[in-house]
Amino acid sequence: MSPITTLLFFFFFFQITLSLSHQNTTFNFPSFTLRNITLLGDSFLHDGIVGLTSSTTVPTSTSGTLLYNNPIFHSSNFSSFSFSTNFTFSITNSNPNPPPSSSLNHFSFFLNSTKHFISLDFHTNDNTLGFNFNNFSNSIQTVGFNFTSGNLITSWIDYNKSFNKNLSVFLSYENSSFSKPEKPVLSVDVDLYEYFNEVVYLGFLGYVEGSTELQQIMKWSFEFFQFSQNKNSSMHNLGYQVDDIPPSNTTKNHHGKRFVIGFCVAVVGPALFFVVLLVLGYVSFRKWSSLRKLKKNESSMGCPKKFSYKELKFATKGFHGSRIIGNGSFGTVYKALFVTSGTVAAVKRSRHSHEGKTEFLSELSIIAGLRHKNLVQLLGWCVEKSELLLVYEFMVNGSLDKLLYKESECVILLSWVQRHNIVVGLASVLTYLHQECEQRVIHRDIKTANILLDGNLNPRLGDFGLAKLMDHDKSPVSTLTAGTMGYLAPEYLQYGKATDKTDVFSFGVVVLEVACGRRPIEKEGQEMVNLVDWVWGLYSQGKIIEAVDKRLNGEFHEDEMRKMLLLGLSCANPNSDERPSMRRVLQILNNEALPLVVPKVKPCLSFSIGLPLTLEEIVSDIGERFGSNQYTCKIIIEPS
C-alpha cells in the first residue's frame, strides 16, 4: 500500500471516527478537575468542587460559568434524541437578610446553540424553578425546597426518555434515603428537535446581585443518545437506523451485522488507536511549543530579573495567607520581602498552573513592552514547579477601592485634588495604551481594584491578565465576556466583543466612583442601585452636584467637579458610538478641548447589526485563553 493510499485510508476512517464520536455523549464527574471543563467569570475550583459565585461576607454582585469543553451534536441522520443529567449542588448565604423578591439571583443548567438558549433556572430569592426558553421564562413552579439552606440538593433532568417529547425535573435532598423521586417537580412538554439540530454547548451559570450567596456544584453526570424510530414499531436502536426487514432476509441481515462488527473491530479499532496517537502527539507538540515560547520570552522580554521559585517562596513566607494583599483575574497577590536587598515587592501567583499559562504569557508579553509613569512596573518573573509568578513593585497605598470605601479613621480620605489627579493619570495611561503603543492594548478590566496608588497617591494601572493586543488598523478583537459586573459596557455583555470603547465605558464608571464615593452597584433598602443610572437621574433633575461624595464636605471646585461628573456620564453612554476616545477625554481634563454635550435623559440601548460574533469567532478566542475550543454565552440587557 502506497503512502498516499495509506494516508487516504486513515483519513477516511478518521472522519468515520469523528462522526461516531458525535452520536452519543456520556460523561461523569464525581468531582471536578480543569481537564474537561472551562471556568469563566468569578467561578473557581477548590478540592474538586466548582464555585460559581464568589464567597463574600458582604452583599455583592458576582457571576460565574462552568462549561463542558466538548459540544454535543444532533445529527440529521437521526430522527430524535434524548438526554439525562443529574448534578448535586449547594447554595449557602451568610447574610440572614434575603435579597429583594425582585432580585434575579439564580443557579441554572443550560443548553446553548448558535440560535437558541434553554435553561432550568433555580431562583434562589423565592425558591421557584423555571424553564427558560430563548430568554422567556415559562412554567415557573414553586417547589418545596429551600435552595439557600446550604444542604446538598440533587437534581435529575430527563428529556424524551419515553419518546414523549417531555422535559422533567426531579429534586431530592441528599440524605440517608437519597434516591431519585418518582414524581417530577416540573414537567414541560417541548420538542427540542428543531432547535438543536446543530452543535450545542452545556454547563451551569450562577448569578448573584446584592447577596452573599455561594453557589457550588459537587458532581455532575450527563448522557446524550440519538435514535431513529421504526414507523411501525416502538422499538428503537441507539445510534443506528432501524428499518423494516422482510423475514426472508433475516439470515442475510444476521451475517451482515456480523460482518459490520468484525469490520469495525479489525479496522476502526486501529484507526481509533491512530487517532489517539495523533492527539497525544498534538498535545506534546503544544507543550513543547509553549515551553519554547517561554524560553524565547525569557531571552527577549528584557525583564530586569528572572527569579527562582525558592527565592519567591522564602520572600512570601511560603506564600502564607498572612502575606495576601489582593486577588486579581490572574490569581492571588502576595507581599514579598527580599531580605538580602531589603526591598519589598508584590508577587502574583497563578490561580491555575497549566491553565493560567495563556494569561501569564499575555500579561508578561504586554507589560514587559510598555513604559508609562502610570503603569505598575514589572520587576521580574518565574516559571518553576508548575508555578507561574510575576513580580511587581509594591504599592504602599494599595488599591483605589480600599481608600474609597474602607470606613476607618486611619484610612486616608482622598481630597478633590488627589481624586482629580487619579482620574487624569488613569486617562493618560489609557490614552497611551489605546493610541500611543505600537499595538493597541485593550485592558478589559478597568476598575478601582486594579488601580494602585504609590506613596504619593499617584495612580498605577495593573492586572493585565485579561488584556488583548490588536493592531491599530485592524477591527476589534473578538473576545469572550471577561471582567467585572458593574464595569462592563452593554455591547460587551451582549456580544462579548471588546474594543477601546469598552475600556472607555469602564473608565467612565471609575470616574463616577471617584467623584461620588459609591460603588458601581450598591444596595439601598431593598433595591440595587446602579451608579450610572443614579447620577444620570440627578443630572436629569438638575441636581448633579448632589452626587458628589459627602465626605468631601464641599471642599472642591464646583465647575471642575461638574465637568468630571458629566465626563463620566459621557464615557458611560450606553451607545458606544457616542463615547469619546481616551485622547479626547484627556484633552477635556486638561482644558484642551470643550466638554461633550450630555443628554438630559439616559439614552436607550442600541446595538450595531454588524457587531454580533459568530460562534466560530467566540470558539476561536476561548481556545486562545483557556486551551479549549468550545464556548458560547448569552447575557440579556434590559434598558433602564
pLDDT in tens, 144-202: 888 888 889 999 999 887 677 888 999 998 875 668 888 999 888 888 877 766 678 88
Question: Identical fold at 20-243 and 305-393?
Answer: no
**Amino acid, single-letter form, for residue 78:** F
What pLDDT score was predicted for residue 381?
83
In angstroms, what CA-CA distances link 268 with 15, 542, 580? 11, 75, 60
Identify the pLDDT of residue 508: 96
Element (H, E) at 360: helix 357-368
Q: Name residue 592's amino acid.
A: E
Residue tagged 497563578 (cell numbers): 350
On the CB side of 114, how many CA atoms lie within 13 Å of its CA? Answer: 12
Are the CB atoms for 160 and 189 separated by under 8 Å?
Answer: no
Contacts 24+ apart (CB under 8 A), 570-574: 570/508, 570/595, 570/596, 570/598, 571/504, 571/505, 571/507, 571/508, 571/511, 572/505, 572/508, 572/509, 572/512, 572/532, 573/505, 573/508, 573/603, 574/490, 574/602, 574/603, 574/604, 574/605, 574/606, 574/639
The predicted structure's pLDDT at residue 8: 39
Q: Which helix (H) or strand (E) holds 543?
A: none
> Which cell is 522 given?
450598591
445 is catalytic: yes
Whole-angstrom CA distances from 481 to 359, 393, 634 are 15, 29, 9
Q: How many CB atoms lie within 10 A of CB 33?
A: 9
- Checking DSSP bridges between strand 459-461 and strand 451-453, what pairing results, if any? antiparallel
Q: How far apart are CA 322 and CA 135, in angstroms?
A: 44
pLDDT for res 469: 53
Model pLDDT, residue 281? 80
- Looking at domain 400-626, its CATH class is mainly alpha
Q: What is the pLDDT of residue 600?
A: 92
**What φ, ψ does residue 151 adopt, rounded to 5°?**
-75, 155
Instruction: Please tell me the distance from the alpha carbon of residue 135 to that of residue 119, in angstroms, as a whole number.
Output: 9
- Contacts of the segment 601-605: beta carbons below 8 A, 24+ positions apart: 601/536, 601/540, 602/532, 602/533, 602/536, 602/540, 602/574, 602/640, 603/573, 603/574, 603/575, 603/578, 604/574, 604/639, 605/490, 605/574, 605/575, 605/637, 605/639
Show the cell assigned to 165. 417529547
Per-residue model confidence (pLDDT) at position 237: 39
C-alpha dihedral over 543, 544, 546, 547, to 10 degrees? 150
Collect the ranges in the chain with pLDDT lower than 50. Answer: 1-22, 101-102, 230-252, 254, 354-355, 407-408, 471-481, 607-640
pLDDT for the residue 637: 39
* Active-site position among 42, 121, 158, 445: 445
Tell me if 346 sits within 8 A of 332, measured CB to CB: no
Q: What is the pLDDT of residue 460?
A: 94
Backbone angles phi, psi at 528, to 5 degrees: -100, 125
Can you give the pTM of this predicted structure? 0.52
CATH of 305-393, one of 3.30.200.20, 1.10.357.10, 3.40.50.300, 3.40.50.10540: 3.30.200.20
Task: Find out whether 357 is annotated in a ligand binding site.
Answer: no
Write phi, then psi, for 365 (nearest 5 degrees).
-70, -35
Using one digit for the tens of pLDDT, what is the confidence trace for 98-144? 555 445 788 999 888 767 778 888 988 888 888 887 655 566 777 78
Domain boundaries, the chain: 20-243, 305-393, 400-626
Please report, for residues 156, 334, 470, the alpha-carbon distance to residue 192 in angstroms, rounded to integers and kept in the order given.
18, 50, 40
Query: Which CA distances in Å does 419 have to 194, 370, 396, 446, 556?
Result: 56, 25, 17, 16, 10
Phi, psi of 213 (to 5 degrees): -65, 130
Give CA–CA dist 598/587, Å, rounded: 17
Contact 428/585 with Cβ under 8 angstroms? no
Reported CATH class of domain 20-243: mainly beta
Instruction: Please state, in angstroms and rounded to a whole number, the distance separating the CA atoms of residues 365 and 158.
Output: 47
Q: Give the residue carrying C-alpha cell 424553578.
A: 129
Q: What's the pLDDT score for residue 442?
A: 87
